[in-house]
Structure 1
Amino acid sequence: MPEQQTSDLEVKDAQVIFSSLWQELEHELGRKNMRFPKEMILLGGAPGAGKGTNTDYIRKVRDIVAEPIVMSSLLNTPEMEALKAGGNMVGDREVVNILFREMLNSRYREGVVLDGFPRTKVQVEVIKMLYDAMIELRTEFANTKYAVHFKQPIYHIMILFVDEKESINRQMHRGREIIEHNKRVRESGKGELLEERPTDTDENLARNRYTIFKEKTYDALLSLKQFFHYHLIDAHPPLDEVKANILSEMEYQSSLELDPRTYDALSPLPLASDITTHARRDLVYRLDRYEIGNQDLFHKVIALIENKIMPIIKPHAISGRALINIEDALLSEPLALSMLIDIFSERGFFASVDVHLLEVPEHFDVTTGKIHCRHKKIYRINIRFKGSEIRIG
Structure 2
Amino acid sequence: MSDSLPPSTPGPTPASGDLEIKDAQLIFPAVWADLIERHGDRLTFPREFIWLGGAPGAGKGTNTAFIANARDITAPPIVISSLLTTPQATAIKNAGQMVGDREVIGLLLEELLDPQYRDGVIVDGFPRTKVQVEFLKLFYHAMIGSQPGDDDAAEEWAPGKPMFRIALLFVTEDVSVERQLKRGRVIRDHNRQVRESGVGDLLEERVTDLDPGLCRKRYKAFKDSTFDALQSLRRIFHFHFIDAEGDLPEVQRNIVREFTYQSSLELSPGVFELIQAIPVATQLALHARQELVKRLEQYHEEQPALFQSVIRLIEAKALPIVRAHAMSGHAQINFEDSLLDDPLALRMMIDVCSERGFHATVDLHRVEVPERINPETWEVYCRTKKVYRVEIRYPPSDIRRGH
**TM-score, normalized by length of structure 2?**
0.84
- 1:313, 1:172 → 2: CA distance? 63
Of 93, 99, 106 in structure 2, the residue corresponding to residue 90 of structure 1 is: 99
Q: Indicate the percent of aligned positions where both proteins have the same amino acid.
A: 53
Partner of 2:57: 48
Partner of 2:32: 22
- 1:152, 1:98 → 2: CA distance? 23
- 2:235, 2:331 → 1: CA distance? 53
Mapped pair 1:298 → 2:323:
no
Give secondary structure in 1 for the equivalent of 2:385. Answer: strand
What displacement does 1:227 show? 0.9
What displacement does 1:371 show? 4.8
Rate the CA distance shift 1:218–1:320 in 2: closer, same or farther, 3 A: farther
Mapped pair 1:244 → 2:273:
no
Q: Do the aligned residues in 2 keep the contact of 1:152 with 1:258 (CA within 8 Å)?
A: no
Rate the CA distance shift 1:150–1:312 in 2: closer, same or farther, 3 A: closer
Mapped pair 1:10 → 2:10:
no
Equivalent AA in structure 2 for residue 162 of structure 1? V
What displacement does 1:294 show? 2.3
Of 201, 208, 219 in structure 2, the residue corresponding to residue 210 of structure 1 is: 219
What displacement does 1:365 show? 6.3
Give the RMSD, CA atoms, in angstroms: 2.7
Mapped pair 1:379 → 2:388:
yes
Give secondary structure in 1 for the equivalent of 2:145. Answer: helix
Equivalent AA in structure 2 for residue 65 of structure 1? T
What displacement does 1:361 show? 4.5
- 2:265, 2:378 → 1: CA distance? 63
Partner of 2:339: 330
Equivalent AA in structure 2 for residue 20 of structure 1? A
Give secondary structure in 2 for the equivalent of 1:227. Answer: coil
Mapped pair 1:158 → 2:147:
no
What displacement does 1:74 show? 0.9
Of 189, 194, 200 in structure 2, the residue corresponding to residue 180 of structure 1 is: 189
Rate the CA distance shift 1:200–1:281 in 2: closer, same or farther, 3 A: same
Partner of 2:283: 274
What displacement does 1:50 show? 1.8
Of 340, 344, 352 in structure 2, the residue corresponding to residue 343 of structure 1 is: 352
User: Which consecutive unaligned segments of at least 5 residues does structure 1 have?
Assistant: 138-148
Q: More displaced, 152-161 or 281-290?
A: 281-290
Give secondary structure in 2 for the equivalent of 1:225. Answer: coil
Equivalent AA in structure 1 for residue 67 of structure 2? I
Q: More displaced, 229-238 or 108-117?
A: 229-238
Rate the CA distance shift 1:20–1:356 in 2: closer, same or farther, 3 A: same
Of 129, 133, 138 in structure 2, the residue corresponding to residue 120 of structure 1 is: 129
Per-residue CA shift, 1:335-374, capped at 9, x if unaligned? 2112222222233332221222233455666764555544
Partner of 1:136: 145
Rate the CA distance shift 1:150–1:78 in 2: closer, same or farther, 3 A: farther
Q: More displaced, 77-86 or 244-253?
A: 77-86
- 1:366, 1:239 → 2: CA distance? 81
- 1:285, 1:160 → 2: CA distance? 45
Larger radius of gyration: 2
- 2:258, 2:389 → 1: CA distance? 40
Partner of 2:153: none
Rate the CA distance shift 1:87–1:252 in 2: closer, same or farther, 3 A: same
Give secondary structure in 1 for the equivalent of 2:44. Answer: coil
Q: Do the aligned residues in 2 keep the contact of 1:151 with 1:259 (CA within 8 Å)?
A: no
Aligned residues: 380
Q: More displaced, 355-364 or 295-304?
A: 355-364
Q: More displaced, 8-17 or 345-354?
A: 345-354
- 2:112, 2:140 → 1: CA distance? 13
Partner of 1:145: none
**TM-score, normalized by length of structure 1?**
0.86
Greater helix proportion: 1
Give secondary structure in 1 for the equivalent of 2:366. Answer: strand
